[in-house]
């Protein structure tokens, strides 16, 4: 009986903390708290509803990814009226990358509200996935215009240093290939694993230099995974003084 009381108290406390977090992010009370709870339910923690469907945040993550990409593209188009397509595409890739979304989730305090089971392994993209799912939840709960304002005015403006991100050297794949051409070493990429257990396919890409395996990375697109793997490989080689910046 006492254990049930403690469990109920913990749930009430968690609900209060979640409502406070959402109020701070949204600037108002959410209409449908259940959709936000679902957005914060990792697949390792899922339950099944009465019809046998898995209840986790993967579908909301898919929706949020689409909405976030559209909002980010619109935001950048207006912020940089004289920049070309290539610049805008690269900037959007930087903002919606898994590493960037992981950091945003941690900065806004989203990470501590995610429900997951630690014993089920390491989840490197869990924070960023939950961020996308929350975007999907806001969209369903409040609509596109409200979501746009939350993302651009309450998250990007407060937690994302766009000017610093603009100066960040992102295209490590290009840098690694250029280095390979200069040193006459072959740089190639290979898909070593494809995970189709989630709502969105994830790719594991490994870098090869002269057919010798280097660093690998996981992302939802081959292009993004190649960039992350290139960055890890390039930085590792720089740290080991194999690459010498000219």
In a domain, 7, yes or no: no
For the record, the structure tokens of 196 come out as: 């189709």
Burial 203-229 (b: 16+ CB within 10 A, else e): bbbbbebeeeebbbbbbbbeebbbbbb
In a domain, 1, yes or no: no
**Overall pTM > 0.75:** no
Confidence check: pLDDT of 107 > 90: yes
At 84, the pLDDT band (50, 70, 90 cuts) reads very high
Q: What is the CATH classification number for the domain harbouring 203? A: 3.30.160.20
Q: Say whether both 130 and 195 belong to one domain.
A: no
Q: Say whether both 88 and 147 belong to one domain.
A: yes
Mean pLDDT of the 122-131 span: 83
In a domain, 176, yes or no: yes
Q: Say whether both 147 and 206 belong to one domain.
A: no
In a domain, 28, yes or no: yes
Q: Among 123, 140, 167, which residue terminates a domain?
A: 167
> 170 φ, ψ to 5°?
-100, -35
Q: Among 144, 167, 190, which residue terminates a domain?
A: 167
Mean pLDDT of the 132-136 span: 97
Q: Say whether both 146 and 197 belong to one domain.
A: no
> What pLDDT was estimated at residue 171?
76
What residues are annotated to the active site?
A: 65, 132
Task: Provide the domain count of the chain.
Answer: 2
| Cα–Cα–Cα angle for 223, 85, 107, rounded to 5 degrees | 60
Closest Cα partner for 185 from 194, 196, 193, 176?
A: 176
Better-scored residue on pLDDT, 120 or 194: 194
- Taken as a whole, the chain contains a residue count of 246
Q: What is the CATH classification number for the domain harbouring 42? A: 1.10.1520.10
% of the chain exceeding 70 in pLDDT = 84
Q: Say whether both 37 and 59 belong to one domain.
A: yes
In a domain, 146, yes or no: yes
Confidence check: pLDDT of 2 > 60: no
In a domain, 234, yes or no: yes
User: Cβ distance 124 to 195 under 8 Å?
Assistant: no
Q: Which domain holds residue 210?
A: 172-239
Q: Among 167, 192, 226, which residue terminates a domain?
A: 167
Confidence check: pLDDT of 47 > 70: no
In a domain, 103, yes or no: yes
User: Cβ distance 148 to 71 under 8 Å?
Assistant: yes
């Amino acid at each position: 009986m006492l254990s049930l009381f403690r469990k109920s108290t913990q749930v009430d406390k968690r609900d209060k903390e979640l409502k406070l977090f959402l109020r701070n992010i949204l600037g108002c009370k959410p209409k449908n708290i259940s959709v936000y709870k679902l957005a914060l339910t990792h697949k390792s923690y899922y339950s099944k509803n009465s019809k046998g469907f898995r209840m986790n945040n993967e579908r909301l993550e898919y929706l949020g990814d689409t909405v976030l990409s559209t909002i980010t593209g619109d935001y950048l188009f207006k912020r940089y009226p004289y920049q070309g397509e290539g610049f805008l595409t690269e900037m959007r890739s930087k903002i919606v990358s898994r590493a960037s979304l992981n950091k945003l989730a941690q900065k806004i305090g989203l990470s501590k509200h995610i429900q997951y089971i630690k014993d089920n392994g390491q989840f490197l993209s869990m924070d960023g996935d939950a961020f996308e799912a929350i975007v999907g939840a806001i969209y369903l709960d409040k609509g596109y215009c409200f979501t746009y304002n939350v993302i651009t005015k309450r998250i990007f403006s407060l937690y994302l240093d766009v000017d610093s991100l603009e100066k960040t050297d992102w295209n490590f794949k290009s840098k690694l290939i250029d280095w390979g051409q200069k040193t006459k070493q072959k740089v190639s990429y290979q898909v070593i694993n494809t995970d189709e257990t989630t709502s969105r396919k994830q790719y594991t890409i490994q870098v090869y230099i002269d057919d010798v395996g280097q660093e690998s990375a996981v992302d939802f697109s081959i292009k993004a995974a190649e960039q992350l793997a290139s960055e890890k490989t390039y930085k590792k080689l720089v740290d080991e003084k194999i690459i010498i910046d000219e």
